[in-house]
């Protein structure tokens, strides 16, 4: 019975990994010009895993001596990860053929990375956190350089690998220090050691700070964001879209689970640091984005700024009265940001005629007039990024600001509000170029990319009228300590 519970808890991960291995072998016999079969099979595996996640919704299980846990928090995030994986495949199918880099292992690597993200959301042991981090990261290093022999892609992969390995070192060293301070790697044992006072407080503070640095690299907070613009620009655009949504969600999954469950007692020491990191991330991301003329780099700095908004709500994690609001507002914003971001990146993919060509803001001239529906969709996405009312992004920022105010950080909320106003300039500049500058763009309208754009645009607007339903799901996503 115990073995059955163990398997049920990590069943989606098991399916993705097993399906990825089988697909890697099967791809050998799939002709080079029919790799779409591999794409369809990868979507099938993710769809099966997604169906199992939805079927398991509401259950609370733990497995393998409480190394991983299934709770509302992990279930919510698993839906985000699997939906992101399916969407990324839809965006990649035509793109890989158009750029002449179509290879079946792309979809297999996507499966393995998604499996790592799911395991990250379920981790209830610091060793499991590290293993999940590596499982999600290593395939992404390869995917970033997938456009070889393009120099920009190879350079991005090398930068991502070196800085990712550096960040993993911080996480591993932090885990070692926490183990040295408490004598435990499992969450329950660490919490018990902290509550009974049988810890080395200095090692514990340093260890938790090391973990924060490592996770900060993954979610791209300042000053750990230096890899983001170059990697986002150099990587194949579907990979960039996947990273901007799913990797950020996985990083915050680890940050929320580890710090909310293990280190609420460290909040007094860590909160000032988190406050400064959140403020700097919002300021740097938005201000530097103003100077960008390449849309991929602009969206990269935008992604950094959105990490700052998420971190703003997390600053008050040590306040037990708002802890659940921290979780709910973070999950809600990840949904709002994910839908908006995938829609915007899908439009970028449609604009990109060759690798890195067609991505200057001036290349958007005339798109809104010649393709009105694309212009309207981009307007929706840019307004949602900026947090304008009647979009899902508005409600995402509203709940983040509310959480920060409830925790008593009005100053940080004001910084967030002012930087949101600044961001409206570079977001609306995209729309101005599309509608108000003359041009004769020629775009190849791909059906799968078009579907992603249409679905995301409708979701951004439609869900803005029923935000309470999404928020209720986020509020029910409770963290469980095994």
The structure's pTM equals 0.92
Model confidence pLDDT, tens digit, residues 84-101: 999 999 998 888 888 888
pLDDT range class, residue 371, cuts 50, 70, 90: confident
- What's the mean pLDDT in 405-409? 87
At 301-331, the pLDDT tens digits run 999 999 999 999 888 877 766 778 888 899 9
Residues 159 and 141: their CA atoms lie apart, in Å, by 9
Quote the Cα angle for 288-441-152, to 5°. Answer: 45
CA distance 73 to 253: 9
Give the pLDDT band (50/70/90) at residue 358. low
Contact between 281 and 259 under an 8 Å Cβ cutoff? The reply is no
DSSP per-residue codes, 309-339: HHHHHHTTTT-TTTHHHHHHHHHHHHHHHHH
φ and ψ of 322, to 5 deg: -115, 10
State the pLDDT at residue 4. Answer: 56
CA–CA gap between residue 253 and residue 128 (Å, rounded): 13
Dist CA 103 CA 146 (whole Å)? 9
Task: Please determine, for residue 113, whether its predicted confidence score (pLDDT) is greater than 60.
Answer: yes
Query: How many residues make up the chain in this entry?
Result: 482
Q: How many C-beta atoms lie closer than 10 Å to residue 211's C-beta?
A: 26
Of 203, 303, 201, nearest to 248 by C-alpha is 303
Return d(Cα 85, Cα 122) in angstroms, integer: 18
User: How large is the average pLDDT for residues 228-244?
Assistant: 90
Whether the per-residue pLDDT at 3 is higher than 60: the answer is: no
DSSP-derived pairing of the beta strands 61-63 and 68-70 = antiparallel
Question: How far apart, in Å, are the Cα atoms of 62 and each of 6, 59, 69, 73, 474?
Answer: 7, 10, 4, 13, 21
**What are 10-58's pLDDT values in tens digits?**
788 889 999 999 998 888 888 877 877 888 899 999 999 999 888 877 6
Task: Report the first-to-last Cα separation within the chain, whole angstroms.
Answer: 18
Res 273: pLDDT: 87
On whether the CB atoms of residues 423 and 286 are closer than 8 A, the answer is: yes
- Structural contact between residues 335 and 83, judged by C-beta atoms closer than 8 angstroms: no
Q: Please, what is the Cα angle at 189 between 206 and 257, to 5 degrees?
A: 65
DSSP string, 399-460: HHHHHHHHTT-HHHHHHHHHHHHHHHHHHHHHHHHHHHS---------HHHHHHHHHHHHHH
- The yes-or-no verdict on residue 381 having pLDDT over 90 is yes
Provide CB contacts within 8 A for 6, sequence distance 6+: 63, 64
> What percent of the chain has a predicted confidence (pLDDT) above 70?
96
Say if residue 280 is exposed, middle or buried (CB neighbours under 10 Å; 0-12, 13-18, 19+).
Answer: middle
Which pLDDT band holds residue 6 (cuts at 50, 70, 90)? low
Residue 263 structure tokens: 């280190």
Residue whose structure tokens are 């079969």: 37
For the chain, helix (H) and strand (E) counts, in that order, are 21, 2
């Amino acid at each position: 019975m115990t073995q059955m519970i163990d398997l049920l808890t990590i069943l989606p991960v098991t399916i993705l990994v097993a399906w990825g291995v089988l697909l890697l072998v099967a791809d050998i016999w799939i002709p080079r010009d029919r790799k779409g079969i591999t794409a369809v099979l990868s979507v099938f595996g993710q769809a099966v895993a997604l169906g199992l996640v939805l079927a398991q919704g509401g259950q609370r299980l733990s497995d393998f001596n409480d190394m991983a846990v299934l709770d509302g928090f992990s279930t919510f995030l698993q839906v985000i990860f699997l939906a992101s994986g399916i969407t990324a495949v839809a965006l990649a199918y035509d793109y890989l053929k158009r750029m002449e880099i179509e290879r079946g292992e792309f979809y297999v690597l996507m499966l393995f990375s998604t499996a790592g993200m799911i395991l990250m959301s379920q981790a209830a042991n610091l060793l499991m956190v590290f293993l999940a981090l590596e499982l999600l990261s290593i395939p992404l290093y390869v995917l970033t350089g997938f456009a070889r022999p393009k120099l920009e892609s190879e350079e991005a992969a090398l930068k991502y690998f070196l800085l990712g390995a550096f960040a993993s070192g911080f996480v591993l060293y932090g885990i070692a220090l926490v183990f040295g301070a408490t004598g435990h790697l499992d969450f329950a044992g660490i919490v018990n050691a902290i509550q009974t006072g049988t810890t080395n407080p200095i090692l514990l503070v340093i260890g938790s700070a090391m973990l924060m640095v490592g996770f900060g690299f993954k979610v791209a907070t300042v000053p750990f964001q230096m890899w983001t613009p170059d990697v986002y620009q150099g990587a194949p655009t579907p990979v960039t879209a996947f990273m901007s949504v799913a990797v950020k969600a996985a990083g915050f999954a680890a940050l929320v689970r580890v710090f909310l469950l293990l280190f609420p007692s460290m909040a007094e020491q860590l909160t000032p640091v988190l406050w400064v990191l959140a403020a700097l991330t919002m300021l740097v991301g938005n201000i530097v984005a103003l100077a960008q003329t390449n849309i991929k780099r602009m969206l990269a700095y935008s992604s950094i700024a959105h990490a700052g908004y998420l971190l703003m709500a997390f600053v008050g994690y040590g306040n037990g009265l708002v802890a659940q609001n921290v979780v709910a507002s973070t999950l809600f914003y990840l949904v709002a940001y994910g839908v908006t971001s995938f829609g915007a990146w899908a439009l970028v993919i449609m604009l990109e005629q060759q690798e890195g060509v067609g991505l200057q803001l001036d290349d958007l001239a005339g798109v809104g007039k010649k393709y009105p529906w694309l212009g309207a969709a981009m307007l929706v996405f840019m307004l949602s990024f900026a947090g304008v009312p009647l979009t899902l992004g508005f409600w995402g920022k509203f709940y983040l600001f509310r959480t920060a105010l409830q925790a008593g950080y009005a100053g940080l909320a004001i910084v967030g509000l002012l930087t949101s106003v600044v961001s409206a300039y570079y977001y609306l500049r995209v729309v101005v170029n599309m509608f108000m500058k003359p041009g004769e763009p020629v775009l190849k309208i791909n059906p799968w990319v078009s579907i992603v754009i249409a679905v995301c645009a409708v979701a951004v607007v439609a869900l803005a009228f029923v935000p309470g339903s999404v928020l209720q799901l986020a509020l029910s996503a409770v963290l469980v300590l095994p």
